Amino acid sequence: MTSKMLVFFLIALVSSKNIILIGDSRTVGIAVYLFGFGYTYAAPYYGTGTYIVSTIAKSYGGHSAQVACETGASYATFTNSAKAVSTGAHKLLSSAASGTVVLLWLGVNNLDSASTFNYYQSLAKKYQNLKFYAISVTGVSSKSNISNATIKTFNTNMNNKIKSAGLANLKYKSILIGEDPTKVGYGGTVYLTIDTTTTDTYGLHYYTNGYKAIYNSMVNGI
């Protein structure tokens, strides 16, 4: 191996990560439109009651990912042992290599910060060899039945709870810092599908460019 090839190899080794994505329909969007997992529904709607659990990893942006996500999911979905996505998530976590990054992106379907935190904390305590990141909930459109003010409160509470817990392998990650708020974030418009289509009646989902911005912000610096 030449010195130049060695440099490229070392850069790839440092930058590439094994990732597990756990979340709701927004995570389904990342899984489908960025990583190419399992569904062929037209953007931006994925159908209710659908889920993806994949033990086979796929790559995007230099990282390799497995997913456990379901439309309409919340902490209650993933703490219900009768749900396939819940048992599937534990299967992925229990077999993951030490140091695997786990991106937890729940909340928009149930803004109960205490219960969501308890779920996150239980995972971090059970799988201490993995690195968990609780991702902040991003904004919704004016047609959503939840408010961006409530989302902000959820994010603040989640951040405070994680800091107070002091777990070395559980961190809060606020995404899209410095992004133009008219694009993605609280009350964003450009990337939110609801503002230009009636397909997504919930006001929660994004175009592919939105998911790219979100995912890039998730993995930046981890």
Check pLDDT > 80 for residue 12: no
Residue type, position 64, single letter = S
Q: What is the 3-state secondary structure (H, E, C) of 189-209?
A: CCCEHHHCCCCCCCCCCECHH
Q: Decide: helix, strand or coil at residue 107.
A: coil
Residue 99 pLDDT more than 50?
A: yes
Domain ranges in the chain? 14-219
Give 149's pLDDT tier (boundaries 50, 70, 90).
Answer: confident
Token readout for 191 is 């990337």
pTM: 0.84
Q: Is the pLDDT of residue 11 over 50?
A: no
Q: Is the peptide bond between 181 and the residue preceding it cis, with omega within 30 degrees of 0? A: no
Phi-psi map region of 93: left, alpha, beta (phi>0 left; psi -120 to 50 alpha) = alpha
The more confident residue out of 14 and 165 is 165
Question: What does the pLDDT average to over 145-174?
Answer: 94
Span 15-68, pLDDT tens digits: 678 999 999 989 988 998 889 887 544 343 334 457 888 888 999 989 999 999
What's the topology of domain 14-219?
Rossmann fold (3.40.50)
Is 196's pLDDT higher than 60? Answer: no
Q: Which residue has the higher pLDDT, 33 or 184?
A: 33
